[in-house]
C-alpha cells in the first residue's frame, strides 16, 4: 500500500513559441515521509522539492520561482527544466550527421546550448497520469531548432515512499539525429534561500576518475584527463568551499565528469551531496556515462533576480545533470548521442533523498 498521492492544480498561464496561450498544469506529489515534489507541464520544470531536515523542519531545496512569470523571464537559467533535444553545448552551433551539415541556433556565444533558442524548456508538454506516475510528452517537429527528424519525447516522473524521485526519458525519431536529455534542477540542501554561505558547507562526492577537459566557452577539447591530484577529484566527500576557488580558469565547477562504472548494467552510483547542518542528503543514480557538475557560477552577484526563497545569486545552488558528454556529436571518441529511426533513446535517473540525524 503506497502512501504517495498525486494531485493537480493550475500554475498560471503561458504562451508558447507558436503563440498558443493555455493554462499551465502543475502536479504535486506527497509521500509518507513528508516530502513533496511539484512539476509543471510548461518546460517540464521541477518547481519545488520540499523535505524535512533532521529536526523535522521542512524547506524547499530547489531554486526557482513562485509562479509561471518567473520561468518566462530571460533571466531564468533553466531552473529545474527538462532539457532537449541536446543538453549542454554543441560547438559553433554546427554538427555533421550522416554527412549532412546542420547549422543550429547559437544561443551561448557562438555555441548551441540546451536545445537552442526554443529548447524543450520553452514548450508545452502533453501531460498524462497513470496512478502516481506523470508522463510528459512532446512532438518536436522536423526542422525545429534546425534539428532533423520528427522526434517524439516522453518523460515519466514518479515520487516513491523511499524518498526517490525517478525520472525516465524515452524518445524515437524519423531521421538520424542527436538526442541527449537531462534535468537542470538547482539544489541547495540547506534550503533555497540559504545561498552560497551554506552551499560551500555541502560535502560533494562524484563517482568519476576523469573529466572532459574544456577550452573557452566550456567546449570539450576531446581529452579526458584524470582528476587525481586536482581540484576536480571529488571521489571522496569533499567540502565544496575548500575546492571551489581552486578550479582552474573558471569561477567554479561547470564540468562534465565521466562516471566510473563497474560490471553493473543499468543505473550506477553517480554522486552524493550532504549538508551537515540540516542533515539532508541526496544521492544520484543513472545509466548515463556523464554528469555535468555546475555550481551556479553565472548566476547574478547582486540583488537582481528574485526567486521563491529570496534573491538568487552566484554559487547559491548546484546542479548534477546526468547526460552523455557535451559536444558528443562533434567528438567521435565520446559516447554517441546519435539516435536512428527504429531505435529508442532511453535515459533513467534517480534522485534519492534522506536525512542524517
Q: Enter the C-alpha cell of residue 273.
A: 551531496
C-alpha span between 7 and 41 (Å, rounded): 14
Classify each residue of 215-236 as buried b or exposed e, where b means 16 or more C-beta atoms within 10 Å of its C-beta. eeebbbeeebeebeeebbbbee
Task: Judge whether 15 and 43 are in contact, CB under 8 Å.
Answer: no
184 is catalytic: yes
What the block records as the C-alpha cell of 199 is: 552551499
Q: Confirm whether residue 261 is marked as ligand binding.
A: no
Q: How far apart are CA 291 and CA 320, in angstroms?
A: 6
Max CA pair span of the chain: 59
Would the annotation count 183 as a binding residue?
Answer: no
C-alpha cell at 121: 524548456
286 known ligand binder: no
Q: Could you count the other beta carbons within 10 Å of the beta carbon of residue 268? A: 17
Sequence-ordered alpha helix ranges (H) in the chain:
68-72, 195-199, 240-243
Is 69 marked active-site? no
Q: What is the per-residue DSSP string for 285-301?
A: EESSSEEEEE--TTS-S
**Please, which residues have CB within 8 angstroms of residue 342's CB and are 6 or more apart in sequence?**
none
Q: Which DSSP helix (H) or strand (E) runs through 282?
A: strand 280-286
The span from the CA of 169 to the CA of 156, in Å, is 7
CB atoms near residue 203 (< 10 Å): 17
CB-based contact 111:93 (threshold 8 Å):
yes
* Cell numbers linked to 11: 500554475
Q: Is 48 annotated as a binding residue?
A: no
Cell 500554475, residue located: 11
Candidates 112, 114, 145, 184; catalytic one? 184
The catalytically annotated residue of 144, 145, 198, 321 is: 321
- The answer on whether 202 is annotated among ligand-binding residues is no
Residues within the annotated binding site for beta-D-galactose? 88-89, 184-186, 254
- Active site residue ranges: 184, 321
Please give the annotated binding residues, written as ranges. Answer: 88-89, 184-186, 254
Amino acid at each position: 500500500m503506497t502512501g504517495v498521492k498525486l494531485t493537480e492544480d493550475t500554475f498560471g498561464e503561458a504562451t508558447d513559441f507558436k503563440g498558443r496561450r493555455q493554462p499551465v498544469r502543475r502536479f504535486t506529489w506527497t509521500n509518507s515521509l513528508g516530502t513533496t515534489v511539484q512539476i509543471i507541464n510548461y518546460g517540464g520544470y521541477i518547481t519545488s522539492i520540499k523535505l524535512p531536515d533532521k529536526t523535522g523542519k521542512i524547506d524547499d531545496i530547489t531554486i526557482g520561482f513562485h509562479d509561471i512569470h518567473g520561468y518566462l523571464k530571460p533571466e531564468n537559467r533553466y531552473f529545474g527544466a527538462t532539457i532537449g533535444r541536446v543538453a549542454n553545448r554543441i560547438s559553433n552551433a554546427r554538427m555533421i550527421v550522416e554527412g549532412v551539415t546542420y547549422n543550429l541556433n547559437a544561443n551561448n556565444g557562438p555555441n548551441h546550448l540546451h536545445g537552442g533558442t526554443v529548447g524543450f524548456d520553452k514548450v508545452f508538454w502533453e501531460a498524462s497520469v497513470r496512478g502516481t506516475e506523470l508522463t510528459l510528452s512532446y512532438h518536436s517537429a522536423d526542422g525545429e531548432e534546425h534539428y532533423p527528424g520528427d522526434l517524439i519525447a516522453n518523460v515519466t516522473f514518479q515520487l516513491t515512499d523511499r524518498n526517490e524521485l525517478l525520472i525516465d526519458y524515452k524518445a524515437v525519431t524519423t531521421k538520424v539525429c542527436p538526442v541527449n536529455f537531462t534535468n537542470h534542477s538547482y539544489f541547495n540542501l540547506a534550503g533555497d534561500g540559504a545561498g552560497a554561505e551554506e552551499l560551500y558547507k555541502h560535502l560533494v562526492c562524484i563517482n568519476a576518475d576523469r573529466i572532459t577537459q574544456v577550452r573557452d566557452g566550456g567546449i570539450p577539447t576531446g581529452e579526458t584527463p584524470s582528476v587525481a591530484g586536482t581540484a576536480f577529484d571529488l571521489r571522496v566527500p569533499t567540502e565544496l568551499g575548500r575546492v571551489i576557488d581552486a578550479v582552474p580558469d573558471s569561477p567554479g565547477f561547470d564540468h562534465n565528469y565521466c562516471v566510473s562504472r563497474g560490471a553493473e548494467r543499468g543505473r550506477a552510483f553517480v554522486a552524493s551531496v550532504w549538508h551537515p547542518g540540516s542533515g539532508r542528503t541526496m544521492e544520484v543514480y543513472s545509466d548515463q556515462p556523464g554528469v555535468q557538475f555546475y555550481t551556479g557560477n553565472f548566476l547574478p552577484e547582486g540583488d537582481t533576480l528574485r526567486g521563491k526563497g529570496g534573491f538568487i545569486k552566484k554559487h547559491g545552488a548546484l546542479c548534477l545533470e546526468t547526460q552523455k558528454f557535451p559536444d558528443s556529436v562533434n567528438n567521435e571518441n565520446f559516447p554517441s548521442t546519435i539516435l536512428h529511426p527504429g531505435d529508442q533513446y532511453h535515459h533513467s535517473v534517480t534522485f534519492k533523498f534522506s536525512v542524517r540525524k
